[in-house]
Amino acid sequence: MKGDRREGGVFRQEGEVVRQRRAKLVRLRDAGRDPFRMTRFDRTHLAREIREAFDSLEGDQVRVAGRLVAQRRHGKAAFADLQDLSGTIQLLFRVDQLGEERYGDLRDLDDGDIVGVEGKVCRTRTQEITIAVTNFALLAKALRPPPEKWHGLRDVEIRYRQRYLDLIANDDSRRIFIVRSRVIGSLRRFLEEQSFLEVETPMMQPLHGGALARPFVTHHNALDIDLYLRIAPELYLKRLIVGGLEKVYEIGRVFRNEGISTRHNPEFTMLEAYQAYADYRTIMELIESMVARAAADSLGSTRLDRDGCEIELSPPWRRVSLYTAIEEKLGVTPERLETADSAREVCSELGLPAGPEILLSTMIDNIFGRFVQPTLIEPTFVTDYPTAVSPLAKARADNPKLAERFEPFVAGLELGNAFSELNDPEEQRGRFEQQARARAAGDQDAHPMDDDYVLALEYGMPPTGGLGLGVERLVMALTGAPSIRDVILFPQMRPQTE
RNA sequence: GAGCCGUUAGCUCAGUUGGCAGAGCACCGGACUUUUAAUCCGGGUGUCCUGGGUUCGAAUCCCAGACGGCUCACCA
């Protein structure tokens, strides 16, 4: 066996502790008590259930199972803390209860071991709710110790690479992923109640579309074609609207081949929903109720406390034009953002890139993203995005340069994107052609021409409102998690080299 | 992709001017029948991220690299 080694954050040490534990396992096996041959253990209660129902359970025999996370030995008595999904509960082992031999078997137990115990619910002198153990079984041996109990596990690299250790050690991490699960459940229930139909559409697509982003490419051997991992389900979902399903949604993974940051992971979970005979204003109402509901279901409140600042998620949310929001924050009038030249001046003044190659829409987005977005703490719908950057959205009748589109913001985070869907096949074809030109000119994120989608529109799509919501962003907003990696169990990391 | 910062015991971290590698918790041995960061006595368990270089001597200084974090760029 090699000696101790440390490799960039993940611990693989074969240190003294591991050697001791392996030796202990060998002794157990030699004695015919191999813990890994244990199969089931029927428990009667979870830790929290015992604490919450103590009054009615006091004196009862119960069976619990979990991970041993702490031990306090006192010679002829010993305390231990057992952690299960619901929390921890104290165990009390006494030699006069277990007998000398059984009590001696406690030597087999280490922090981190998985044990099942049977015993009587009681309270100790210090009023701690405890199980006085009458019998116990080692159900699985931990050859490595869990993270240290007092300081916990802080090393972010280990937290992400070995998430199980993070979940064992950090209550807050466990809480965030439970919230995430509840949020997704809540979104489903809400949409179900509104008669939306949950559907699944291809993740591997011959043509990537529905968003402006670069895709991952893969290859199908039998068909001998390249396929793209989807960057959005949008165009398939709208085909279903054409097909008359009228209210559809999908919650699923999308993949975008771009940089990683505290707000971006290459794969993330997106909710997209489409409702026929609705427009973007209908969708605003849908989103504000749905998010408020998700907060209530996952946190028990529609109010968030963020750095001492209260955020109320109940409808209605503020609605503000992109241009008004910029003017309010920076005093830059909409007129100055009408032409690329005057916008360039504004960008120069603000210290933003203002080169001749930068498009007007990009400059506006930069100004907004840098100076306005971080201040949108209260839930806000920002409207009036330029049609030029919204190739799938219907233009406003009174001003075709602007789209019937909005983005929801909470706690400074962009949660998604929504609009009245463009259902005019001819105009859609024109928009795609414009995108294709941008693509030919080097814009790798531009939308590719999708004749098959235009064909679908030619059969007639009712006026439709649609939304895309980043589930991770929503969970970040609800939990206050500072990084998207904190709400994705296994975030993308660079592989470690040996 | 660029800049800045980080990587030392199982975990959390300290490490002075370049001079034998440190603390707390964990762990091992002993004591202890109501502790809960148990306590008391004894024990340091290490590829100081990796590879070069400077030096009598490198955790420390220099160069290159790996991984991570943050900011920016990219990106909804």
ipTM of the complex: 0.85
- C-alpha–C-alpha distance, residues A297 and A409, integer Å: 20
pLDDT for A83 beyond 80: yes
Q: Of A348, A387, A381, which Cα lies nearest the Cα of A366?
A: A348
Q: Which nucleotides of B are covered by protein (CB under 7 A)?
A: 1, 7-13, 24-28, 31-39, 45-47, 49, 66-76
DSSP A303-317: EEEETTEEEE-SSPP
Q: Give the mean pLDDT of chain A.
A: 90
Q: Which nucleotide is nearest to A125 (CA to C1')?
A: B34
Residues 296-325/A with CB within 7 Å of nucleic chain B are none
Quickly count helices (H) and strands (E) in chain A: 16, 23
Mapped onto helix, strand or coil, the DSSP state of residue A453 is helix
Residues 386-415/A with CB within 7 Å of nucleic chain B are 389, 407, 414
pLDDT for the residue A394: 96
> Which is more confident, A151 or A175?
A175
Q: Residue A384: is it exposed, middle or buried by C-beta count within 10 angstroms (0-12/13-18/19+)?
A: buried
**A67 CB closer than 7 A to any strand B atom:** no
Rounded CA–C1' distance between A142 and B59, in angstroms: 32
Q: Which residues of A46-71 are buried (b: 16+ CB within 10 A; e: fewer)?
A: bbebbbeeeeebeeeebebbbbbbeb
The model's pLDDT over A99-123, given as tens digits with 9 standing for 90+, comes to 999 999 998 899 899 999 999 999 9
Q: Residue A443: is it exposed, middle or buried by C-beta count within 10 angstroms (0-12/13-18/19+)?
A: middle
H/E segment holding residue A283: helix A280-299
- C-alpha–C-alpha distance, residues A118 and A413, integer Å: 48
**A493 CB closer than 7 A to any strand B atom:** yes
Q: Which nucleotide is nearest to A415 (CA to C1')?
A: B76
pLDDT for the residue A493: 86
The model's pLDDT over A27-75, given as tens digits with 9 standing for 90+, comes to 899 889 999 998 899 999 999 999 999 999 999 999 999 999 999 999 9
Q: Which nucleotide is nearest to A405 (CA to C1')?
A: B76
Rounded CA–C1' distance between A8 and B63, in angstroms: 21
**A14 CB closer than 7 A to any strand B atom:** no
Give the type of residue at A74: H
The model's pLDDT over A300-346, given as tens digits with 9 standing for 90+, comes to 999 998 877 899 999 999 999 999 999 999 999 999 998 888 888 88
pLDDT for the residue A495: 78
Please, which pLDDT band fits residue A497 given cuts at 50, 70 and 90?
A: low
> Which is more confident, A149 or A423?
A423
Rounded CA–C1' distance between A180 and B10, in angstroms: 31
> Which is more confident, A430 or A495?
A430
* Residue lying closest to nucleotide B9, CA to C1': A15
- C-alpha–C-alpha distance, residues A174 and A152, integer Å: 13
- C-alpha–C-alpha distance, residues A315 and A293, integer Å: 10
**A101 CB closer than 7 A to any strand B atom:** no
Rounded CA–C1' distance between A496 and B9, in angstroms: 22
Q: What is the token pair recorded at A386?
A: 């330029």
